[in-house]
Amino acid sequence: MFKIGDKIVYPMHGAGTIDSIEKKEFLGEVKDYFILKMPIGDMDISIPTSKINEMNIRDVITKEEGDEVLKILDDEPSDMSNNWTVRYRQNQEILKTGDIFEIAKMVRNLAILDNDKGLSTTEKKLLNRSRRILASELVMAGSLKKEEAEAMIDESIGL
């Protein structure tokens, strides 16, 4: 079980630090919630402690794994569907898993595709969201500032 001070990743939102545990009432039921402080976006997220194991929440990667993520961003693109709606659904599923290495591949592939052909507005939003999620974890793993993490990502994918 996680505790106050732990750095965790909440899929679809990114990495943050458990700031506190609070009791909250929702629909007449009082439950304990982890309050997650996010380093990017300046927001707090409440996560029911009873649901933590069902939500693909995991510890933040190590600095060494962060270096591995940056290497993935430097790699050649992998195959993706040519149909943007199929690609979008596949990428949404990747985000739900919270797998940072797959998210890095997705960011790399979408950035390259955006440079080559351009992305739909929907995919551009997904790319920007995925870059924020990736940056938030790199911030937490390497004690970087948001701007430094974003610059590292941009440099790795050639932006």
Distance CA(18)–CA(154), nearest Å, equals: 28
Query: What does the pLDDT look like over 58-67, one tens digit per residue?
Result: 999 998 999 8
Q: Are 59 and 16 in contact (CB under 8 A)?
A: no
Residues near 39 by beta carbon (within 8 Å), at least 6 away in sequence: 15, 16, 17, 136, 139, 140, 146
What is the pairing mode between strands 58-59 and 44-48? unpaired
Query: What does the pLDDT look like over 142-153, one tens digit per residue?
Result: 867 888 888 888
Query: What does the pLDDT look like over 39-53, one tens digit per residue?
Result: 887 789 999 999 888
Q: Are 49 and 31 in contact (CB under 8 A)?
A: yes
